[in-house]
Chain A
Amino acid sequence: MIVTTTKGEMDDSLLEYRSGEVDNDNEFTKWTEYWLDGELVHRSAHVTLKKPAVFGGGETASFA
């Protein structure tokens, strides 16, 4: 697979692959990294918001 890096497009077989996930009440995040000789040359992240944390699960307006 060809990966876009800071060095240009490279075959992933030449790179070290790392990835990780974060899963909590606010988000599910997955990130992927490619390293070349100890240098980070590509990093992407995909964040999925689970709910509008800014509203704290409550209401943005209320009427009582």
Chain B
Amino acid sequence: MANSQSMCTSFMGELLTATHNFGTAPVRAASTADTFRGALYLASATVNASTTVYSSTGEVTGAGYSAGGVVVTNGTAPIATNSSATAGVAYWTPSASLTYTSVTLTTAFDAVLIYNASQSNKAVSVHTFGSQTITAGTFTLTMPANTTSTALLRLATT
């Protein structure tokens, strides 16, 4: 046996469930999972790694679409999987598609911001796709498979 320097995979998984706190703890009303939402952004908008919080600036507007987007279905808890003594992945994926039903979004959009509606709308991640418009129709964003290599959110050691 030998020791191996590594961030513990369990720790990464626990980051996704707010088990550890190295700073000032957020105030939580409950120990249950937070509510996350997905908002769509115009192709002309600027949402990226520097985005810290949901904003309606650059968000799509149109019939049938409510500012702030839709609730993200969160039916599967984060998973942490070790791949070796020095590597592992913690990951999470929404458990259902994000569906924007009966909307008209005539200005091209190409991004969704996932954000935490339970924690002052703090940003989680931005995901881009080819520009779309919707006319009296439905926009559906189906999630990737919830695996160590394709999950929507992954924290990994190498």
Contact = CB atoms under 8 A, between A and B. Distances in A.
B72 interface: no
A6 B126 contact: no
B81 interface: no
Interface residues of A, number: 32
A45 B150 CA distance: 22
User: Chain B at the A interface: mostly helix, strand, loop or mixed?
Assistant: strand
A53 B156 contact: no
A54 B125 contact: yes
Interface string B119-134: 0000001111110111
Contact of A53 (B49, B127, B153): B127
B135 A40 contact: yes
Interface in B24-75: 49
Interface string B131-152: 0111111111111100001111
B129 A43 contact: no
Given A43-B137, A51-B150, 18 more contacts: A4-B137, A5-B136, A26-B129, A32-B137, A42-B136, A42-B137, A46-B140, A46-B142, A49-B127, A51-B149, A52-B144, A54-B49, A54-B126, A59-B156, A61-B12, A61-B155, A63-B157, A63-B158
Interface of A: 4-6, 22, 26-27, 29, 31-33, 40-55, 59-64
